Amino acid sequence: MACAEAIQNDELAAAVDMVREIKRLASCTSGAMSKIASYFAESLSQRIYPASKDNWARIYEAEAVSEMLYASFYEACPYLKFAHFTANQAILEAFQGHKVVHIIDFNLMQGSQWPELIKALAVRSEGPPHLRMTGIGPPRPDNKDVLQEVGVKLAELAGSVNVEFSFRGMVAAKLDDVKPWYFEVKPGEAIAVNSILQMHRLLYGHVASDPSKALIDEVLSSIKSLNPKVVTVVEQEANHNSNMFLERFVEALHYYSTMFDSLEASSLDPLGPEMVCSEMYLGREIANIVAREGAERVERHEPLSAWRKRMSNAGFKQVHLGSNAFDQVSYMLKYFSGEGYTVEENRGCLTLGWHNRPLIAASAWECG
């Protein structure tokens, strides 16, 4: 805390000494507190020495590394599974009675969200629909068509359970590059737009053609123009978007300390690859929040109350996540060691936390 305050006051010589001391202390201890101290100390170092973060970023933010860390975090703890469970339940309910459905996924990754939904659609009492899917993902430096590879696997699964399926991968460096007409929406199809931990990346910057309009408002307007049956939004339940560095730092320190506590309580080997990669997944977010500013700072998390206001202002109405979603998430948590996970209903939304501190929030919306 003293180090962060020194950086905010531009007392860099004192901050350098304190970073060195933090790293020394962290190396002499063990457990979650040692790890969190190391990640925050490294992030403070990158803020003091901006040039040092460039080499680090090239390795740490490479897309292949990003997918590996995501996969490990997905398996290690329930946060991403919670996101997928709640979103899928809302999508399944919105698609009831529709024969042609279209999911637009803002961040396909390995497609781990969709096998369970495809299986659920296959056993609908009214019969399975024709499922179209558009999966968005970033460009790869090696030009490898990862999106299409995921699409092929999902198509094979859909075929095995007799669900008609068509897939289209869409490469986009930024979500605001994607325009509504790219999705080739067809008359009569029910649309679901799925955003898992992506919307906060749009909270910086304005539309080039209209500087009075924020990027997030432009994208929400584009989503609304598609007239979706449901928009699922899952975001970190935190406020890491303050322009005041110290305020943001303190909030992040508390938030990620809780995250690391929950990881430490798992049954994973503390030095095993899955644990290390999960910690690196969170460490990447910490570094972005602490060391970066401007357009480079993409981890601009805001709490559910802010998203409620933003979605309402954009013309969306909240859809209550019902007891089915709550029950499914509660059942899922039984598979994770650690008794501290808590799922709570918050005015029609669901949150997952650790020892009563909400850490991730899921909501669903329809056109108002």
Q: For residue range 225-246, what is the model confidence (pLDDT) as tens digits?
A: 999 999 999 999 999 999 999 9
Q: Which helix (H) or strand (E) holds 160?
A: helix 146-160
Distance CA 2, CA 5 (A): 5
Helix (H, G, I), strand (E, B) or coil at 88: helix
Asked if the model's pLDDT at residue 15 lies above 70, the reply is yes
Identify the CA nearest to 163 among candidates 208, 195, 133, 138: 133
Alpha carbons 296 and 291: distance in angstroms, whole number: 9
At 74 the three-state DSSP class reads: helix
Which SS3 state, helix, strand or coil, does residue 64 take?
helix
Q: Is the pLDDT of residue 2 over 80?
A: yes
Q: How confident is the model at residue 331 (pLDDT cuts 50, 70, 90)?
A: confident
Integer Cα distance of 12 and 30 in angstroms: 28
Q: Is the Cβ–Cβ distance between 343 and 358 less than 8 Å? A: no
**Are the beta carbons of 265 and 322 closer than 8 angstroms?**
no
CA-CA distance, 292 to 296, in Å (whole number)?
A: 6
Cα torsion angle, 298, 304, 310, 311, sign: positive
Reported as a pLDDT band with limits 50, 70 and 90, residue 51 is: low
Q: Given a cut of 60, is residue 292 above it in pLDDT?
A: yes
CA angle 365, 327, 353 (to 5 degrees): 75
- Tell me what pLDDT residue 54 has: 58
Supply the pLDDT for residue 53: 55
Structure tokens that stand for 126 in this block: 């009214």
pLDDT at position 62 over 80: no
- What is the value of pTM for the model shown? 0.95
Residue 358 β-bridge partners: 353
Q: Which two tokens stand for residue 94?
A: 């919105």
Residue 337: pLDDT band (50, 70, 90) is low
Q: Is the pLDDT of residue 184 over 60?
A: yes
Asked if pLDDT for residue 19 goes beyond 90, the answer is yes
Q: How confident is the model at residue 165 (pLDDT cuts 50, 70, 90)?
A: very high
The pLDDT of 272-286, averaged and rounded, is 94
Q: Which residues have CB under 8 Å from 303's CB, separation 6+? A: 237, 238, 239, 361
pLDDT of residue 335: 82
pLDDT category of residue 123 using cuts at 50, 70 and 90 = very high
Which of 18, 89, 67, 40 has its CA nearest to residue 362? 89
Among 302, 86, 117, 306, smallest CA distance to 196 is for 86
Residue 284: what residue type?
A: R
Confidence of residue 271 (pLDDT cuts 50, 70, 90): confident
Q: What is the mean pLDDT of residues 112-121?
A: 98
Mean pLDDT of 35-52: 89
